[in-house]
Amino acid sequence: MDSSVPVAIVMIGPPGSGKGTQSSKLSAFLGIPKISTGDILRQVASGSSRNSEEIRAIMETGGLVPDSILADLVTSRLSEPDCKKGFILDGYPRNIDQAIFLESLLQVKNYKLLVVEIAVPEDVLLKRVTGRFSCRVCGAIYNKYFLRPRNEKICDQCGSADFAYRSDDNELVVRERLREYTLQTLPVLDYYKAKHLLVSVDGNRSLDEVYDELTCHLSKVL
């Protein structure tokens, strides 16, 4: 890969698609930061900057942070030295206006843009999310449909019998999250597809298979 070309990778995928895991793997492989707007917002909300109180109030009520505030935060983060050779964006853009703003920002900085959609069938996503649980002691992650412990009541990693299930990992909540994702994201995918910037990857495979395809696509554009 041509390291002289800074790359901006936008990762798009529904809850349970493995987007976050793949973003982290690509970040380590390329030596560029993974930037999550959710992490940025939580960090700002816990601080005492001029936007902290407003963002904290919005997040507590489940509202959407205004595009103008997100634009300022993204611009500031992308100006940091570790983004000089590129970055991976997770969670932004989520609407057409954000996509247009990001594109204008990247043109000024002369980044190569690649947008990656990790596509997974809804029935598989439901099982991935509603079936997951973890060990309270060591954090090992399991799934009652795809990755059970060898012994049903004992963690493979540490031998603990104490498992945790997230209360929001139920079918009604997950279906609503998927519905919101579809409403928000389909226009963004269409926008990037029309510009020939979108690559769609089949996420209904093993993590290694998905990762291999992602690096293959990257090798063709960088």
The catalytic site residues sit at 19, 94, 132, 166, 177
Is the distance from CB of 48 to CB of 16 less than 8 angstroms?
no
Burial class (CB in 10 A: 0-12, 13-18, 19+), 160: middle
* Beta-sheet strands, E only, within the chain: 7-12, 34-36, 86-90, 112-119, 132-135, 141-143, 163-164, 198-202
Give me 72's structure tokens.
Answer: 């300022």
Q: Is 127 left (phi over 0), alpha (psi -120 to 50) or beta?
A: alpha
Half-sphere exposure (Cβ direction) of 86: Cα atoms closer than 13 Å: 25
Give Cα separations from 144 to 128, 152, 165 (angstroms). Answer: 9, 9, 11
Say how far apart CA 16 and CA 13 lie, in whole Å: 8
Give me 9's structure tokens.
Answer: 């990778």
What backbone torsions phi and psi does residue 147 show, to the nearest 5 degrees? -145, 75
Give me 119's structure tokens.
Answer: 């596509």
DSSP letter for 111, please: P
Side chain identity at residue 178, one-letter code: L
